[in-house]
Chains A and B, each alone.
Chain A
Amino acid sequence: MTTARAEEAVPGPGKGSGTAFAARTRGLRKVYRGTVAVDGVDLEVPEGAVVGMLGPNGSGKTTTIRMLLGLVQPTEGEIELLGVPVPGELDRVLPHVGALVEGPGFHPFLSGRENLLRFAAAEPFLAGGQLDGAVSAALERVGLADAARRKYRAYSLGMKQRLGLASALLAPRRLVVLDEPTNGLDPAGTQEVRRIIAELHDNGVTVLVSSHLLAEVEATCTHVVVLNEGVVVAQGALDDLLESGSPTLLVSTPDGAWAVDTLRDHRIPARLAPDGVRVDITTTAPATVIETLVRAGVGVDEARRERTGLEEAFARLTHDVGEVVGELDADEPAVAQEGRAR
């Protein structure tokens, strides 16, 4: 990811004091009837970045996005969007924000074009004469120009999703918020969404995209925010996050449980994974780990150092999947299991 330092390229505010944020929250909290959906979220979306919001279902991604956009009132906390407090000055910010939240929302009896025209009419910065052109351009951009006159009812899931994307891009935006934009898209559609995100990024538009697909985020984003159970568990530049994972040693052993017990007795953090025992070697040398195991009489077939990819980081940050999966279904790799659980 070489595009990480894109802030400089942004034509935005020419102030010298540090990074500007397209979106920022402080202590954001949302409680729905006693259930805490989002708790103490301090989100930072640098201007010009493509920020991936990663987390399993129910981790608070959508709720956070809905609060950012003023669709839901936060229970507590402050939000700033494009430098302006929200929801206080929502009406001022939203024209410059494009959003696709919780899937596309259109009427089946209208064509794709008519549906878009309706929302284009509500765009404050589109003059009356520009509406048709803006709608055509947006449809063109998401590859729906040919299907523009077909009824929304007859659209495939992917086409509906594209139309949602088109409505987010009706007017020039400074921030585009996409909630799971590749839902229902085939690989070609996914590719196209990536292209659109890259295009927005090149134009200096900040993009906040939520996803539960790690590959998606790794492929498109410069920054990542990982949410779990309503709490931000990690955020920062993608490269940093990839490197920040603590190094681990994967030990293959016939006596996994015994090995974990032994290591924990020696205050070495370890946990059972489907493919062996994963040992945290931030503070312990690999040699010590093996020595400890061998001394205790645990058989060691193989030990190798692991690079902590975002997948591993994600799995580790959000859930101790390794352990759970290890117990339930030792044949499945942890990540595949994660993916399917969605």
Chain B
Amino acid sequence: MTTQGPMALPEADAVPSGVLPDRRRAPITRLLRAEVRWIFRRPRTLAVLGLLAALPVITGVAVDLTMDGQGASAPAGPGGGGPGGPGGEPPIFVTMATSAFVLPLGSLMTLLMLLLPLTVAMASGDALAGEQSHGAMRGWLLAPVARGRLLVVKAVGVLVVALAASALVVTSGLVTGLVLAGTDGLVSMSGTELSVADVLWRLAIAVAWATVYLMAVGAVALAISASTEHPMVVVVSVLGGLIVSGVLMQISALDWLHPYLLPTSVTSLVDLIRDPVSFDGLGEGAFRALCYLAIGMSLAYARITTRDG
């Protein structure tokens, strides 16, 4: 009860604060490892990744069977068809659907419409809202992990999921295509033959681009995740956002709005099938995604640093 006063100056090292050891932080690699392990231990993550890996296989096999039956016009397969944007998806699926080049790209494009963004939204929802709902967020804050640092760790976790999911879809499509059609049908839309190496780097670009696109979704999802403690709200919001964007994109009177909608970019993946590759659309799409990413992460940061733990 001595009147030591509350004027504990930051520099008053000699007296009470000298007692505490210096500031120290847990190495970020350790945090990241713990985060990634946690993500991939979650049954839900594994189930969705399994589904994502299976879809290109199902699509490829289904289309292959249909084509064998007679060059049918109706592309079957749960992944195929879809809400179909512009950009000639049906022709791709009918003509070269089982090629080791088109199958992975087509699958990626189709899944980017809905399932991949939802996967990332789920990861983002679990990352912050899920931790909060289990009361585990306090564990991090009390350890302590600074809030900004925690957001970085969580964002990297989402990035890993985005990358793993896109890579898985493309790899699964590639392998299925190779099994079904060997190296036949490695042709561009312009009809030129492509070497295996050429195909691989185009697919690598597709994975990288999809990851950036998905991180844009993930950043927005993280912002929502930081504001709620119900992971489901995050998934539903992202789903709602995608559907609304999809509807708006169909309304030609809203042409001026379309460049601002994230899903506008997805169809530019088709450019990777052209020879030579046209990077205009992809570049624009990546830029749009980065804008979303910046806005999403800023909002998430603003929210996580002010929210009650």
Contact = CB atoms under 8 A, between A and B. Distances in A.
Task: Indicate the member of A91, A101, A122, A123 with the most B CB atoms within 10 Å.
Answer: A122
Contacts, number: 139
B253 interface: no
A19 B8 CA distance: 15
A328 to B, nearest CB: 36
B71 interface: no
Contacts of A107: 38, 42, 134, 136
Interface in A69-121: 69-73, 78, 80, 82-85, 88-97, 99, 101-110, 114, 117-119, 121
A26 interface: yes
Given A80-B6, A83-B8, A118 B38 contact: yes
B136 A125 contact: no
B34 interface: yes
Nearest to B16: A83
A58 interface: no
A20 B17 CA distance: 12
Task: Indicate the member of B19, B30, B145 with the most A CB atoms within 10 Å.
Answer: B19
A84 B142 contact: no
Given A13-B19, A19-B2, A124-B25, A105 B139 contact: yes
Contacts of B81: none
Chain A interface residue number, banded: 35 or more
Contacts of A71: 138, 141-142, 308-309
Contacts of A95: 24, 143-144
A114 B17 contact: no
Contacts of A78: 6
B2 A90 contact: no
B308 A92 contact: no
Given A66-B308, A85-B10, A114-B41, A105 B137 contact: yes
Contacts of B139: 105-106, 118-119, 122, 167
A126 B24 CA distance: 10
Contacts of A105: 131, 134-139
B34 A121 contact: yes
Nearest to A104: B135
Given A69-B141, A84-B16, A110-B41, 19 more contacts: A12-B19, A18-B2, A20-B16, A26-B6, A44-B1, A66-B309, A69-B142, A83-B15, A84-B17, A89-B17, A94-B144, A99-B138, A101-B138, A105-B135, A109-B41, A110-B38, A121-B34, A125-B21, A128-B27
20 contacts: A12-B19, A17-B4, A19-B1, A72-B308, A83-B17, A84-B16, A85-B8, A94-B144, A95-B144, A96-B20, A102-B138, A106-B134, A107-B42, A114-B41, A119-B139, A119-B140, A121-B26, A122-B31, A122-B140, A123-B143
Give me the 8 closest cross-chain CB pairs, A-B, nearest first. Answer: A83-B16, A105-B135, A18-B2, A122-B143, A71-B309, A94-B144, A121-B34, A124-B24
